[in-house]
Structure 1
Amino acid sequence: MSHNVSLTFDGDRAYVALDRPDKHNGLTLDMLRELVRVAGVIGKRSDIRAVILSGNGPSFSSGLDVAKAMGNPLDVVRSFVPLPWRGTNTFQEACWAWRRLPQPVIAVVHGRCYGGGLQIALAADFRFATPDSEFSVMEAKHGLIPDMTGAATLSRLVGIDKALLLTMTADPVDAPYAERIGLVTEVTADPLAAAEKLADRIAARSPHAVASAKKLFDRSWQASVRRTLAVERATQLPLIIRQALDSDKKQK
């Protein structure tokens, strides 16, 4: 069962696509688990030199499908608990699994790239986006914070003032602005072609050097990821509890 995530191989490339186009690739818990599984499959393939991550339909992803996810609150709670040997929960691993891969991961973005969808794109090593793409750290609209590794990835890409601005306002920003602040690697009319061209350039280098470069920067860039993700969970949990209590009061 695909759980709305497709995986195809073409030569030395893996193509992963979010595949719930009628919902702008709104993320379900099954999709998050499938992303983790698919990343694990790719990680076992030494012949794969690059991963291209995209979304089918009108958008890369509109973020977590909150209504669908909250249809099973117990499943959300289980998914929020981190696995001790990884230091991530299901929400976080759906993003960070791409950082764990030795291969470079290139996100191809179009349409909406919001919330959890944005955090998946930020966990890629590179992001190519169409000029009409829109980006939003939209969790504040739901009284929450980004908790799918967004704190770790934003801190590596933009300054703290821009990270706070995006997070506190939850305002959507356009692709040129995203490129200017470092959220996007490049804005281009054909992001897939740009991603494939970059994949070709990287494939011409030693796969061991490429994997080692990725590991080097991930392990040495600013604060430890494990610490950042633990803080992320600890900060989010009271907000989730508050939202649940407020919802319960409204129902009464």
Structure 2
Amino acid sequence: MTTPRVLVEIDGPVAHVILNRPDKLNGVDLDMLAELVAAAKSLRRNREIRAVILRGNGDAFCAGLDFASALRSPARIARSFVPSPLRGTNLFQRAHWVWRELPVPVIAVTHGRCYGAGLQLALAADFRYSTPDCEWSVLEAKWGLVPDMAGTVPLSELVAADVAKRLTMTGEIVSGTRARELGLVSEVADDPLTEAREFVQVLATRSPDSVAAAKKLLNETRRGRPRRAFRIERRLQFAMLRSKNAGIARKANFAGDSPDFGPRSFGR
């Protein structure tokens, strides 16, 4: 039996999605890409999930694309490179962007190495918690390539243009601490997994619908014209006003109680 490349463990309202090729420093192959997409699809259907923690087994979060493995199947690579007419993403991009589209917060917890495909996967998360000594690199530059797994969009959102260009052109390696200074990393901690869990507890005190709507709102309005942003704001707020969980929040706040939210109802 083939060992799963991606493990999904449900711990109450939290889903842990774990890259599971520790002997390869969680290097990404085509099977892992497919399993990442499948994992996100299964979690989307679970409305009890309040957050996803994305991490890696072993000594690294992810050391990037496993070229040796991927190049064994050139025909499969070619098929995986073709974008879907419906979504506009190919498999390489979809396996990363699907976490951006998931209607719950996704927190990447990194250690060891966060290179190339791994860095792009971390950038697709809503938050990144890193050890101080984790190594971050847009490693595609080493191979004479550019990042092509949907990572350029969040990279350009998180850091200044000159920083994005420098990292992408040089492939330089920066520590988790330096990545935090540059804006790539949300928080740095010796035990980032514990910090991420504590943050999830804070998120769980809020309506799962408003959290999902906030993610969608900010993702869709970060770029573009103000009029479009205002339209999206109105549409999402109207949905929240009709949300059962919003009613629970209002009632609890007026009574001075802690809200007891039901399952997420927003986001397919």
TM range (shorter): 0.7 to 0.9
What are the within-5 Å matches in structure 2 for residues 48-197 of structure 1?
Answer: 48-197=49-198
CA distance in 2: counterparts of 1:84 and 1:127, whole angstroms: 31
Runs of 4+ displaced beyond 4 Å? none
CA distance in 2: counterparts of 1:115 and 1:180, whole angstroms: 19
9 and 69 in structure 1: CA distance in 2 versus 1, 3 angstrom threshold: same
Q: Deviations over 1:19-51 (max 9, x none)?
A: 000110010100001000000000000000000
Q: Deviations over 1:212-236 (max 9, x none)?
A: 0000111111269xxxxxxxxxxxx
SS at match of 1:212: helix
The aligned residue for residue 213 of structure 2 is 212
Greater Rg by CA: 2
What are the within-5 Å matches in structure 2 for residues 213-252 of structure 1?
Answer: 213-222=214-223
- Native 8 Å contact 1:2 1:34 kept in 2: no
The aligned residue for residue 241 of structure 1 is none
CA RMSD of aligned residues (A): 1.2
171 and 214 in structure 1: CA distance in 2 versus 1, 3 angstrom threshold: same
CA distance in 1: counterparts of 2:150 and 2:199, whole angstroms: 25
Q: Deviations over 1:123-165 (max 9, x none)?
A: 0000000111000001011111000011101011001100001
Q: Deviations over 1:142-200 (max 9, x none)?
A: 11100001110101100110000100000111111100011000110110011101111
CA distance in 1: counterparts of 2:75 and 2:161, whole angstroms: 34
Unaligned runs of 5+ in 2: 226-268
Sequence identity (%): 54
Q: Deviations over 1:81-125 (max 9, x none)?
A: 111211111001111110111000000000000000010000000
TM-score in terms of structure 1 length: 0.87
Deviation at 1:3, TM superposition (A): 3.3
